[in-house]
Homo-oligomer: A and B are copies of this chain.
Amino acid sequence: MKLSTGFWQTYKEVPADAEIASHQLMIRTGLIHKAGSGLYNYLPMGLRSIRKVENIIREELDKIGCFEITMSVVTPGELWQETGRWDKMGGLMLRFKDKKDADLCISPTNEEAVTDIFRKTIKSYKQLPVTLYQINTKFRDEIRPRFGLMRGREFTMKDAYSFHLDKASLDVGYQALYDAYTAIFTRLGLEFIPVEADGGAMASSDSKTHEFQVVANSGEDLIIYSAEAKYAANIEKAQTKRAPTTYDMNVVPMKEVETVKTETIEAVCALLGQTAAQSLKSMVYTATTGNESKMILAMMIGDDSVNEIKLQNFLKCDHLAASSEDELKKAKLWKGYIGPFGLEGQLEIIFDNAVNLDASYTIGANKKDAHVMGFNPKRDMKKIIQADLRLSKAGDLTLDGKHTVVEKRGIEVGHVFQLGDKYTKDMKVGVLDQNGKLVTPLMGCYGIGVTRVVAAAIEQNHDANGIIWPKSIAPYDVYFATIVKAEEFAKIADEIYADMKKAGIDVVYDDRNVGPGNKFKDADLLGLPYRVVLGERDFGASGELEIIERKTGTVTKVKRDELISTLKNLLK
């Protein structure tokens, strides 16, 4: 693209709503344009990157025999009703009615649609396994769209769905996709970690789930990680042990203490001169299944937190949420002063496994401005239920106790998930097996946030001057900036541009009538892998052009006839 006639513009201003670097840089470099809240137009430069990401995904999936399809963006409500998700999907799914009053939605995901295609096409085990994928527009009506393409409402996603006769085949298919994802994110030039994740309450115990996380400080996800142990898991899924803890093993009578306006563990510990491990945190949740609700009291060591997914899995409830202030008031519970003693019978009380039942703890006194010291679970509770409820954290040990884990922040860019028979069962899909018996096929699903990948790549690869694109997804390979005035040199520059294009080098030709400072600033901001500079004076004197690597600043000087071979080598 010749910039003098190209459709491209950089901006100095950072929009007020752009909180993270990738969002700011994508707007400033004219990659995207905001169409509305959480809605973006992809401008030529941005679209080129997106297409490169799409093509890498496509190549790797085609390599393992997946079939590309495109499902309608608008899908009929009927289909979602078959699995009950029309009612369960919640507010992220944008529903509306058409002219004939029929229910429609903009697909936030496509399990139902793909299962409908499958059941109309595949009848026999001979046609299995099969994996279908699409790269298409999705819409999720986020309450607070933010971070540009990172959490927009409309976005491009690659979603794949595999169908299998049995779990062994599903495992093989799952591994193939897992490996393809590894190949994809490697080719994309990203630092990523595949982490174990939780499949949710509906997943069977042997169902596998991984997220592919791009490591970045601005990431919204927390990863529990140990390089030595080769362990990585989403914080909600992580299985770790609390590091050795010094409990208070003095068994003394319970004693009420005055704790005026002391509603947090930190404040209580400070007031009483205790460590967090000497007190228990009381967390109240409302668990709902169908129309039934009950309140749950989760008891945690003072500096631990509840892993709500673990709690929900333990309770096997449909829905779990921290009880609201209204609910607490109705149950006559004093926020900040709740404790297990005296609540038996009124609430279901569950102690975390890390709680030493023989130790003494400070707990809430269930009245305002008071706590109880010396609570000993074994002595003071009639019945004790204990379960693994705690959220892993940095400093924990791996399950074998050998390694200490750290926390990393990540951006989820991919997701592989064994769905099992949830959708095929609800949608009554049958396939004949080798013995002529009708069986319910199993499914896997596999997503990549295409537009999010581009944002994550920038989040991970930028500096104060702008983007530093991974080679494989840079909008162009080379930024060719010329500092020439004489007709003669302009003609040479045009020729060199034509030569590069002819050699298959994707090149932006900055032939604008602006100063070198502006050109170099724009080049750094856009951050293509290499900048090539033709300076009239230098080229006139030495016949050399400069190649500057964006990432390292390394300068290579080359004669005109070495330019293309040098670039080709660098771009390999």
Contact = CB atoms under 8 A, between A and B. Distances in A.
A388 interface: no
Interface string A50-82: 100000000000000101111111111011000
Interface string A371-400: 000000000000000000000000000000
Contacts of A39: 72, 74-76
A439 interface: no
A444 B33 CA distance: 22
A141 B98 contact: yes
A466 B154 CA distance: 39
Interface in A11-37: 30, 33, 35-37
Given A69-B42, A99-B143, A132 B7 contact: yes
A40, A69, A94, A113: most-surrounded residue (chain B CB, <10 A): A69
Instruction: Report the contact-size class of chain A (Cβ under 8 Å from the partner).
Output: 35 or more
B5 A65 contact: yes
A40 B72 contact: yes
A7 B72 contact: no
A137 interface: yes
Contacts of A75: 35-36, 39
Q: Per DSSP, are chain A's interface residues mostly helix, strand or loop, or mixed?
A: mixed
A51 to B, nearest CB: 9
A257 interface: no
A29 to B, nearest CB: 12
Contacts of A120: 33
Contacts of A117: 33, 41, 43
A47 B72 contact: no
A9 interface: yes
One complex includes copies of this chain to the number of 2
Interface in A107-153: 113, 116-117, 120-122, 126-127, 130, 132, 137, 139, 141, 143, 153
Contacts of A74: 36, 39, 106, 139, 153-154
A96 B141 CA distance: 12
A401 interface: no
A348 B113 CA distance: 55
A102 interface: yes
16 contacts: A4-B126, A7-B67, A7-B132, A30-B121, A35-B72, A36-B79, A36-B102, A37-B100, A39-B74, A39-B75, A41-B69, A41-B113, A41-B117, A43-B69, A43-B117, A73-B137
Interface of A: 4-7, 9, 30, 33, 35-37, 39-44, 47, 50, 65, 67-76, 78-79, 91, 94, 96, 98-100, 102, 104, 106, 113, 116-117, 120-122, 126-127, 130, 132, 137, 139, 141, 143, 153-154
Given A7-B127, A33-B121, A44-B68, 12 more contacts: A4-B126, A5-B65, A33-B116, A35-B72, A39-B74, A41-B69, A42-B69, A43-B117, A47-B70, A73-B106, A74-B106, A99-B141
